Structure 1
Amino acid sequence: MKTEPPRTERRADALSKQRIVEAAIEILDADGETALTFRALAARLATGSGAIYWHVADKGELLAAATDEIVARVMTGIVPEVEPRAAIRAIALGVFDAIDAHPWVGAQLTREPWRPALLLVFEGIGGRLQTLGVPERAQFDAASTLLSYVIGVGGQNAAHARMARDEERTDRSAFLGEVADRWSALSASGYPFLRHVAAQMRDHDDREQFLAGVDLIMAGIAAIQ
């Protein structure tokens, strides 16, 4: 009696767009943007490239979808009822931490400003500024300034982390100490300020300094009449 070979079941659930995006995030986090290819993605998902193209047109769309997913996680974690200033700080720090954990996100946020990721952050900040009573004429400038600061500093922090990894600098304290020593050795007449704050460079915490910047911007916004 002839026995038919077992039929292979379709793995529709494993090949959903959500699963593809999650696999792309894993590759991006592990090896960076250059490692994200449809061949690498197909290998990770144990499928063919054609099944991926059914859900995603190209690498650009995939990168955008991965960024949207990361930022959506941040925004979902913001409690709607929280006081507006606290909400803005939470959004800012959430995006900062997301870029720190996923360095490729920073570049993507500025690459396509019409994507949901950036719109969610912009709306989250701008809506809270409206609630705080910021004058209408200043709302766009205030929200844009905060957004630029969050993405810019977050991206800069991620770039420094990548550089440290590339140069195999695993001890952040040692790196900051080296910078502080260089500042302390500068000419007193040419660089009096840098010499004065060298100790603060040695001991500062990136997240605390980032939030201090948010607070400074918010103080300026609060002064607008």
Structure 2
Amino acid sequence: MPRDTLTREQIIRTAVDLLDAEGLEGLNMRALGKRLSSAATAVYWHVKNKDDLLVLAGDRVWGEIRLPDLDAVDWRTAATVMAGDLYAMFTRHPWLVQAFASHLFHGTGKARHDDHSLAVYEKAGFVGPQADQAAAAVFTYVLGNAAPPAATVSLTRRIEREGGDPAEVFGAVMEQAVEAAAGFPRLQARIDSATPSFARYAEAPEASFEFGLRALLSGLAAGLPGQVG
């Protein structure tokens, strides 16, 4: 595809697809050009460099998060919907979770989300910096919960690129983890209560995200101005 027929939107959309398929390690201008049926150099007419492209791709996926109508729902319902959509977006695009460690993401997509998030907590009754703190607390909770599955996806890809079998590697790690847990009664009880697997040992119990989110929002509600602690 010649450079004059490429568009910035095409490039960003294709970069998201490439990142979803290959992860951060798979993003390069040659691979992107191949998907676009274009020379890699043509991409540089629309984006400055790989880091710029990653920020643009990262900003695009924020548009997947719903913004509840705050005149139609209460603040906790809105906060729950946005947190759930954020978690789902992170798990669909695990490369974004990893990239937070090395890039500062910005743009209209993220700004749209952040502005509405502040509106949610202002509706709850938080004022000024308190609204920022409430929104940040929920965001970091969601990001922390999305990090383990993102790491698993990245590790699986790395093992496969190196010619290994992820199931064998995870199985070996599980054996080591079980051995390390011996003598720690609560961990041993958890292992004994289920069929041993790396996922069952390493991951949080089912529905723990929803449990933790409810607890966090309840804690924020208790800290609202005028509430008796």
Instruction: Report the AA paired with residue 145 of structure 1.
Output: A
Q: Which residue of 2 aligns with 1:73?
A: 64
User: What is the Cα deviation at residue 10 of structure 1?
Assistant: 6.4
Matching of residues 167-182 of structure 1 within 5 Å: 168-169=165-166, 182=178
Q: Which residue of 1 aligns with 2:182?
A: 186
Gaps of at least 5 residues in structure 2 are: none
Higher-Rg structure is 1
Q: 1:10 to 1:135 in 2, by over 3 A?
A: closer
- CA distance in 2 between counterparts of 1:154 and 1:47 reads 34
Contact 1:142 1:221 in 2 (8 A): yes
Matching of residues 130-209 of structure 1 within 5 Å: 130-136=122-128, 138-164=130-156, 166=159, 168-169=165-166, 182=178, 186-187=182-183, 191-195=184-188, 197-198=190-191, 199=193, 202=200, 208-209=207-208
When the two structures are aligned, how many residues end up with a matched partner?
A: 206
Q: Which residue of 1 aligns with 2:38?
A: 47
Provide, for residues 67-88 of structure 1, a one-character-per-residue CA deviation record: whole Å limited to 9, x for no partner: 11111122xx333244322222
Q: Which residue of 2 aligns with 1:220?
A: 219
Instruction: Report the AA paired with residue 72 of structure 1.
Output: G
Instruction: Report the AA paired with residue 83 of structure 2.
Output: A
Gaps of at least 5 residues in structure 1 are: 1-8
Q: Percent identity, aligned pairs only? A: 24
TM-score normalized with structure 2 length: 0.73
Contact 1:95 1:154 in 2 (8 A): no
Q: 1:136 to 1:192 in 2, by over 3 A?
A: farther
User: What is the Cα deviation at residue 20 of structure 1?
Assistant: 0.6
TM-score normalized with structure 1 length: 0.74
What RMSD over aligned residues (CA atoms) do the two structures have, in Å?
A: 3.3
- CA distance in 1 between counterparts of 2:87 and 2:110 reads 13
Contact 1:78 1:91 in 2 (8 A): yes
- CA distance in 1 between counterparts of 2:54 and 2:205 reads 27
User: What is the Cα deviation at residue 98 of structure 1?
Assistant: 1.8
Contact 1:96 1:150 in 2 (8 A): yes
- CA distance in 1 between counterparts of 2:61 and 2:11 reads 14
User: What is the Cα deviation at residue 207 of structure 1?
Assistant: 7.0
